[in-house]
Copies of this chain bind each other. A is one copy, B any other.
Amino acid sequence: MASWRVSPNLALNQLVAARQANGESIVHLGFGEARLPAFAPLVERLIAGASRNSYGPVAGGPAAREAAAGYFSRRRMPTSSDQIVLAPGSKPLLMALNLVVSGDVLIPKPAWNTYAPQAELAGKKAFGVPIPPQAGGIPDPAALRETILAARALGRDPRIVILTLPDNPTGTLATPELIREVCTIAEQEDLLIISDEIYRDVVHDPKAPFISPAELVPPRTVVTSGFSKSLALGGWRIGVARFPDGAWGNQIRDGVVSFASEVWSTLAGPMQEVAEYAFNEPPELRQRLADSARLHGAVARAVHQIMVDAGATCRPPTGAFYVYPDFEPVRNKLSLLGITDSDSLRQHILDEYGIVVLAGHLLGDDFGALRFKAATSMLYGDTAELQQLALDSADPTRLPHVRDVLTRIEEAFTKLCA
């Protein structure tokens, strides 16, 4: 029996819950949850779908798949419902892709902490490729070429590259230019692109240019998404994959559907009702998405400013609800506190300030780097009422309950780097 560990972000979540139950005051920035109440019309759809207790088609029912096809089509990716597979989250779809498509996997470094373990579960090797200075979620093109060559020299066969657009953990969106460069390499090296676009509707600036690899190299791009982030439905488990049109895409889709049929059967019926509504994007839902993105941006920028003011470098957040600071500029100061790597930095922040972050090495980054991920969405409040207040506010960072935590974070990092 191999040794097994729980996904570190979920494990951290359980640890924090236990410490809070002990009465400790913890600022939990270690979990990538959107942290907003469920939007009322979504709850209505769940209720409307409650009577769907029969097994349905493995890939999802026609209406929900048609709606998902429309969602992608409206984003310059013409899609038929045959190209759509729904699932209980995008995680199982990503796992299935790992099993269905042969070859090793290239992932950004750092990256979401599930890509590498899934590759390993599928008997593959995951090669982390450093991200460029401009943004995360994408391998630096030059480093990508080098890594492919180095992997082949080791006798490995990298055939998949995973992109995260926008990115978890850096909270940034790769530029169209970078995405074009990576797509060119994918064509030259015959790689399948898995474009994880679960944060696509959490781009902070609605006018920011977004380009999907599925627009540039459609036959070799699978797009995954879901509602856990944009609609804060992590607990409802709704994911989707869009497969390329054509023979290769059909082959991959058939493999994923086959795996699904043996492992999770189908997305729960009531959740398909929700998916149909949400993928159809009626006006009130678009407004909700826009409000959420504005809130995520405002709070992420505030935390980013705190980190930069304290002395870290940090890519300005443009999507999702994360910042990923690098304390290299203050390494000498921190070393006096015994902070010399990603883990001692995390531990010090927890012990001294009660602030929980996810250490960079758990995301595949260098252990010696002084980096972590902070999920800024955890600042919206612990109750649905406070979260709704934050969502409705024109300037959420000035709400007392948000400002108080921002102040605590500011004081902690100012003191840390003093």
A residues lining the B interface (CB < 8 Å): 1-2, 4-7, 10-11, 13-14, 17, 31, 33, 35, 37-38, 43, 46-47, 50-58, 88-89, 91-92, 95, 99-102, 114, 117-118, 121, 123, 228, 232-237, 251-252, 254-255, 257-259, 261-271, 384
Contacts and interface: CB of A to CB of B under 8 A. Distances in A.
Contacts of A4: 100, 254-255, 257-259
Given A102-B1, A257-B6, A259-B4, A89 B265 contact: yes
A266 B6 CA distance: 12
Contacts of A11: 261
A6 B258 contact: yes
Nearest to A231: B53
Nearest to A47: B47
Most chain B beta-carbon contacts within 10 A, residue among A52, A54, A235, A254: A235
B31 A50 contact: no
Contact of A43 (B38, B51, B264): B51
16 contacts: A1-B255, A5-B258, A7-B58, A7-B258, A10-B55, A10-B57, A10-B261, A10-B265, A46-B270, A53-B232, A53-B234, A53-B236, A88-B268, A118-B263, A237-B267, A268-B268
A268 B31 CA distance: 18
A54 B235 contact: yes
A268 B52 CA distance: 15
A104 to B, nearest CB: 14
A121 B123 CA distance: 11
Contacts of A121: 99, 259, 262-263
Given A6-B254, A6-B257, A89-B265, 14 more contacts: A2-B100, A7-B262, A10-B58, A13-B55, A13-B57, A17-B57, A33-B55, A43-B50, A46-B270, A53-B234, A88-B88, A91-B262, A95-B263, A236-B269
Contact of A53 (B50, B95, B233): B233
Contact of A50 (B46, B54, B254): B46
Contacts of A1: 100-102, 251-252, 255
Contacts of A38: 50-51, 53
A262 B118 contact: yes
Where chain A touches its partner, the secondary structure class is loop
B264 A54 contact: no
Most chain B beta-carbon contacts within 10 A, residue among A5, A252, A268: A268
A53 B236 CA distance: 6
Give 3 nearest A-B pairs by CB, closest first.
A4-B258, A7-B261, A235-B269
Given A99-B121, A254-B4, A88 B264 contact: yes
Contacts of A228: 55
B270 A236 contact: yes
A79 B270 CA distance: 31
Contacts of A252: 1
A123 to B, nearest CB: 8
A56 B235 contact: yes
Most chain B beta-carbon contacts within 10 A, residue among A91, A237, A251: A237
B258 A237 contact: no
Contacts of A91: 262-265
Contacts of A95: 262-263
Contacts of A234: 53-55, 265
A56 B14 CA distance: 8
Contacts of A57: 10, 13-14, 17
A78 to B, nearest CB: 25
Given A121-B259, A259-B121, A270-B236, A264 B31 contact: no
Contacts of A37: 51, 53
Given A121-B262, A259-B121, A270-B46, A235 B55 contact: yes
